[in-house]
Chain A
Amino acid sequence: MRTIKFLLQKEFLQIFRNKGMLPIIFVMPIIQLMVLSFAATYELKEVDFAVVDFDQSSTSRQLIERMQATGYFELYGEYTSAGQALDELDKGNVKLVLQIPVHFQRNLNAGESAPINLSIDAVDGSSAGLIQSYTSSIIADFNREKLADVQIMNAAIGNSAGNQKLITMKPVNWYNPDLDYITFMVPGILVVLVSMIGLFLSGMNIVREREIGTIEQLNVTPITKSQFMIGKLMPFWVIGMVDLLIGLSLARFGFHIPFLGSLFTILVIAGIYLILVQSLGLFISTITHTQQQAMFIAWFMMVVFILMGGLFTPVESMPGWAQDLTLGNPVAYFIRIMRMVLLKGAGWQEVYKMVFVLIGIAAGLLGISINRYKKTVS
């Protein structure tokens, strides 16, 4: 016990003396949350669009104004021919070309269909999808009002033909009513943060002792391998938890993320999860000899885990085989747990199965790495 105390003292002394590492450890949660949450957003803002208005009527004007009024779109220019407008699309100056046909107003007022042509730059598929859905909903809204206008006019004239009831759909989004992207991202980013600390720092630290040769001196002391490992894993476990707390308070008070579930549940599961990623880091350290090798392997794993963990793209939209792979992806579990607990207020009942899976993976990895570590000489 005393030996572990001295080892921990030494580790913390070294960590706090490391001028390069220390700021990263404590600034990282802030930077990650800020940058990723604000920058990695799916929301559209001020998309440039071009208009070719063949109708030049008051209704077509209204539609164009409506587009701009939302704040999502900004009028780049009006053109007299479709060719000119599409040139701008080619050049990348606009992302959307809106063509309004002749007789647009007349057809609409007559209750006939009035097709509008949308040309969208789909180089970036996800933003093209967003532009389309935003535009469609603006046009649908506009359409509904116009239809209502027409009906009122018709009613005034006494024409009962157009007097049908409109069925309107009003979707309600549960747990994240405004479909706020930040609310969705922040819990996931916190998971990435904890994973990085656990996977990189502790594994790296063990390899470092081997790389600079200090492990040879340590190995002839009465320090046992388990004491050594506890001495290596515990400091970064603590740092990971502290970082998570910093991140959680930022999420709560900075981003106003709903905190429906219990903080205690989150912390307990995070503790288990950290042991899991640290075991993985330990395992990497047993198969590598330099920090560079360890770093590379850790990065590779991290990227795969994150991309397949449902942080950016939902697991449900992956192909079947990829969904099966996520069954072994700890990042995917923890991201899901974090979102469920924070945003839906899920308790033990809802998450315990996933926690057991995490415990299982953690125990397996820890066992393998300790076993492997004991066999490595110096």
Chain B
Amino acid sequence: MASAVHISQVSKSFGAVKALRNISFEVNEGELFGFVGPDGAGKTTLFRILTTLLIPDSGEAKVLGMDVIEDYKKIRPQLGYMPGRFSLYQDLSVEENMKFFASVFGTTIEQNYELVKPIYHMLEPFKNRLAGQLSGGMKQKLALSCALIHKPKLLLLDEPTTGVDAVSRKEFWEMLRMLKEEGITIVVSTPYMDEAKLCDRVALIDKSEILQIDSPGNLTKAFTKALYGIKHPDKYRLINVLKDYEFADSVHPFGEFIHYTDRRGSIDESGLNEYLDSKGLTEANIQSIEPDIEDLFMSLMQPEELHV
């Protein structure tokens, strides 16, 4: 399969700050590729290199088979980009924004209406409303419509769902799956681990480096340790007590549960229960659970700090 994005050994610094360190990855054509990582990991810098807005210090970056430095003029018309921050004209209406972005790409809304229709038809009742007066979810749909209006081959979405409600987020990912069916390659970044599951492949990125790239299924398989979810009303004490446990390997709060791994690997739950009882945490609920991407991410992120 041809690669839509080819990045090899790319680094970028801003003064003394290393934003990207020797990043390499490939995105296949027609793939829905996700970048998952916390704020400040370097996701936005990477996107700005892919969109030809930033020049990498070193390494090779090719988008749609073209070099981001030499051929940026040829790349841009084939890209759809949705920056992390809402970047449309708030003082223009929905329709005016669409028309403007269509016209600067030398096309019209009508020409590519079929592609944007599933998204844009939701906005059409509000087409005369100023973009600044739309809700977060609506703004996001408008931004996606504007990024799609010229039928790009590659869609780059930088944290499209940040600050958007849960329902709109779900809708948005359904739209992305639909666009993928149309054959558009999509690269998306997100700080939400649950969204990573919805990608074909995911790159875990932290502290300017890619930790791992694989499909969500394979990534969770890479987490080989036995994982336990422990629950107790006094969550704060539970964390401290678990961290003091001599066999503790990692202790992380995950919602109402504490995710726990043991140095002995698989353990007898009653032994742990006895320890908790002895510390006054009676009736703790311990169960064996399946790891998800976040567990893997936490284990890869700061190995030195995870050991108690």
Contact A220 B88 (CB under 8 A): no
Interface string of A339-378 (1 = CB under 8 A from B): 0000000000000000000000000000000000000011
The answer for the CA separation of A219 and B54 in the assembled complex, in Å, is 11
Contact B90 A212 (CB under 8 A): yes
Q: Would B85 and A213 count as touching, CB distance under 8 A? A: yes
A2-B106, A14-B89, A216-B53 known; A222-B77 Cβ under 8 A: yes
Within 8 A of A (CB), among B146-161: 146
CA of A213 to CA of B52, assembled, Å: 16
A18 contacts B91, C-beta separation under 8 Å: yes
Q: With the chains together, A7 CA to B99 CA distance in Å?
A: 11
> Which B72-111 residues have C-beta < 8 A from chain A?
73, 76-77, 79, 81, 83, 85-92, 96, 100-101, 103-106
Please report the C-alpha to C-alpha distance between residue A3 and residue B51 in the assembled complex, in whole angstroms.
21
Given known contacts A3-B104, A220-B53, A221-B76, is B92 in contact with A14 (CB within 8 Å)? yes
- Chain B residues, CB < 8 A from A220: 51-53, 76, 79, 81
Q: How far is the CB of A174 from chain B (nearest CB, A)?
A: 52
**Residue A223 interfacial (CB < 8 Å):** yes
A39 CA to B83 CA, complexed, in Å: 51
Q: Kindly list chain A residues whose C-beta atoms are within 8 Å of the C-beta of B81.
A: 217, 220
Q: Name the A residues within 8 Å of B48 (CB-CB).
A: 378
Q: From residue 211 to 258 of chain A, which have CB atoms closer than 8 A to chain B? A: 212-223
Residue A144 at the B interface, CB < 8 A? no
- Closest residue of chain B to A18, judged by CB? B91
Contacts A213-B85, A213-B86, A216-B83; A221 near B91 (Cβ below 8 A): no
* CA A214 to CA B101, docked complex, whole Å: 12
Query: CB-CB < 8 A to B91: which residues of A?
Result: 14, 17-18
Q: How many Å lie between the Cα of A304 and that of B269 in the bound state?
A: 79
Q: Which residue of chain B has its CB nearest to the CB of A378?
A: B53
A-B CB pair tally, cutoff 8 Å: 67
Q: Are B96 and A13 in contact (CB under 8 A)?
A: yes
Contacts of A38 in B (CB 8 A): none
Contact B83 A217 (CB under 8 A): yes
- Nearest A residue to B87 via CB reads A217
Residues of B in contact (CB 8 Å), total 27
> Which of A6, A13, A18, A216 is the one whose CB lies under 8 Å from B104?
A6
Closest chain-A Cβ to B69's Cβ sits at a distance in Å of: 13
**Nearest CB to that of A227 among chain B residues?**
B104
Which residues from chain A contact B53 at a C-beta distance below 8 Å?
216, 219-220, 377-378
- Report yes or no: B104 in contact with A221, Cβ–Cβ below 8 A: yes
Counting chain B CB atoms within 10 Å of each CB, the highest count among A3, A7, A10, A378 belongs to: A10
Give the residues in chain B near A221, CB-CB below 8 Å: 76-77, 101, 104-105
Which A85-126 residues have C-beta < 8 A from chain B?
none
Interface of chain A, main secondary structure: helix
Q: List residues of B (54-81) whose CB comes within 8 Å of A's CBs.
A: 54, 73, 76-77, 79, 81
Distance in angstroms between the alpha carbons of A355 and B172 in the assembled complex: 59
A222 and B104 contact, CB distance less than 8 A: yes
The CA-CA distance from A212 to B91 in the complex, in Å, is 11
Contacting residues, chain B, for A14 (C-beta < 8 A): 89, 91-92
**Quick check: B83 and A213 within 8 Å, CB to CB?**
yes
A221 to B92, CA, bound (A): 18
Q: Kindly list chain B residues whose C-beta atoms are within 8 Å of the C-beta of A17.
A: 91-92
Residues of B within 8 A of A3 (CB): 103-104, 106
Residues from chain A with Cβ under 8 Å of B51 in the complex: 219-220
CB distance from A90 to the nearest CB of B (A): 57
**How far apart sit A171 and B89, CA to CA, in the bound complex (Å)?**
62
CA distance A247 to B146 in the complex (A): 42
Q: A214 and B76: CB pair below 8 A? A: no
CA distance A377 to B96 in the complex (A): 26
> What's the minimum C-beta distance from B159 to chain A, rounded to whole angstroms?
13
Which B residues are in CB contact (< 8 Å) with A223? Answer: 104
Q: Which of A216, A223, A378 has the most CB of B within 10 A?
A: A216
Closest to B52 in A: A220
- Contact, CB under 8 Å: A213 / B87: yes
Nearest chain A residue, comparing its CB with the CB of B99: A6
CA distance A17 to B54 in the complex (A): 33
Given contacts A222-B76, A222-B104, A13 and B92 within 8 Å (CB-CB): yes
A17 CB, min distance to chain B CBs, angstroms: 6
B88 x A10 contact (CB < 8 A): no
Contact B100 A10 (CB under 8 A): yes
Contact B105 A222 (CB under 8 A): yes
Min CB distance B222 to A, Å, is 35
The answer for the CA separation of A17 and B97 in the assembled complex, in Å, is 14
CB closest chain-A residue, reference B83: A216
Q: Which residues of A contact B96 (CB under 8 A)?
A: 10, 13
Give A213 to B103 CA distance when docked, in angstroms: 20
Residues of B within 8 A of A7 (CB): 104
Known: A6-B104, A10-B100, A220-B51. 19 other contacts (CB 8 A): A10-B92, A10-B96, A13-B92, A13-B96, A14-B89, A14-B92, A18-B91, A212-B87, A213-B87, A214-B89, A216-B85, A216-B87, A217-B88, A217-B101, A219-B51, A220-B76, A222-B76, A223-B104, A377-B53
B interface with A by C-beta (< 8 Å): 48, 51-54, 73, 76-77, 79, 81, 83, 85-92, 96, 100-101, 103-106, 146
Q: Which 5 A-B pairs have the closest CB atoms?
A: A217-B87, A6-B103, A220-B81, A213-B87, A213-B85
> What are 20 of the A-B contact pairs (CB < 8 Å)?
A2-B106, A3-B106, A6-B100, A6-B103, A9-B100, A14-B89, A14-B91, A17-B91, A17-B92, A213-B87, A214-B88, A216-B83, A217-B81, A217-B87, A217-B101, A217-B146, A219-B53, A220-B51, A221-B101, A377-B54
